[in-house]
Amino acid sequence: MSTILPLIIIGGGPAGYTAAIYAARAGLCPVLYQGPNPGGQLTITGEVENYPGYRNGITGPAMMEDFQAQAERFGTVVKTGTITQVDFSTYPRRLILDSGESLLAQSVIIAAGASAKWLGLPAEKRLYGRGVSACAICDGFFFKGKTVVVVGGGDTAAEESLYLANLCKKVHLLVRKGQMRASKIMQERVFKNTNIQTWFHTEVRDIIGQEHVEAVEAIDAIAQTTTMIEATGLFVAIGHQPNTLPFLPYITVDRQGYIQTKPGTTQTNIPGIFAAGDIQDPHYRQAVTAAGTGCMAALEAERFLQQPPINF
């Protein structure tokens, strides 16, 4: 018979490790499964300069190593493995690993994050962190006074373009269709900003550069003509995909697939199941906000475990 664990944390990013630190210090003996991408999106991020406490900046991977070491210092058991299936209809909750092993837990914190959607170009992966980014707020500072390209037509692309327009010399916004999907007010702001040049019916054909982004080759889908845009940065803003598939259909999600939590909490629709980090946050997607919700989830899990057991 499987051992019943007090708390399982799914995901090894800022939310998961912060939850682990708080839970371990509270004596909850958390077991954290890192998932397919240990460290989350920060492991493919270059310099992190906006997280409090690192006054000289730190690389994303090094930062995640610090988080993990701190969690383990207080007794968190960190394991490799990915949760591929769950059964939240019974109590204790059952989780299945990619190895086929079955786990039982009294409470669960889901901090599996969200994955950025990419264009699928070979150069995209090679130049990630060398000019290619999926977060203007995270990396925009490094392109101050330079020319950049933003790809996308929704609110995210509009927000990224407007943010970068305050920092950069020029922002080229490439929209695949003949109109933007962004809200009317966001479109108006983009079109009024003289620092943003919008290209419709335009897609990225290639990213030029060996060590860093030097230019973006764009193609007009109607005229089939190509244009070389000299730029040092390419921001892909075509959305994120929350990693919620293993938790369906038990956990309630919104239309975009993000886990819905009760306002002001990390509580999901199922007692004892909490969600933290990017998997429940379509708006901010920052390491510091993820860590904050990780703290909240651990405190709420602690309170939950102090209550009488659930009876089914």
**29 tagged catalytic:** no
CB 163 within 8 A of CB 141: no
Selecting among 66, 87, 98, 139, the annotated active-site residue is 139
Q: Which of 135, 168, 278, 281 is catalytic?
A: 135
* Cα 80 from Cα 36, distance rounded (Å): 8
Do 275 and 284 meet the contact criterion of CB atoms below 8 Å apart? Answer: no
Q: Which residues does residue 196 pair with via DSSP β-bridges, in sequence order?
A: 171
- d(CA 288, CA 19) in angstroms, rounded, equals 13
Using the CB atoms, write b or e for 42-70: b if 16+ within 10 Å. bbbbbbbeebeeeeeebbbbebbeebbee
Q: Of 66, 87, 98, 138, which one is the catalytic site residue?
A: 138
3-state SS, residue 237: coil
- Using alpha carbons only, give the angle 65, 48, 205 rounded to the nearest 5 degrees: 110
Q: Does the active-site annotation cover 278? A: no
CB-based contact 304:265 (threshold 8 Å): no
Tell me the Cα Rg of the chain. Answer: 21
Give the whole-angstrom CA distance, residue 58 versus residue 64. 10
As annotated, the active-site residues are 135, 138-139
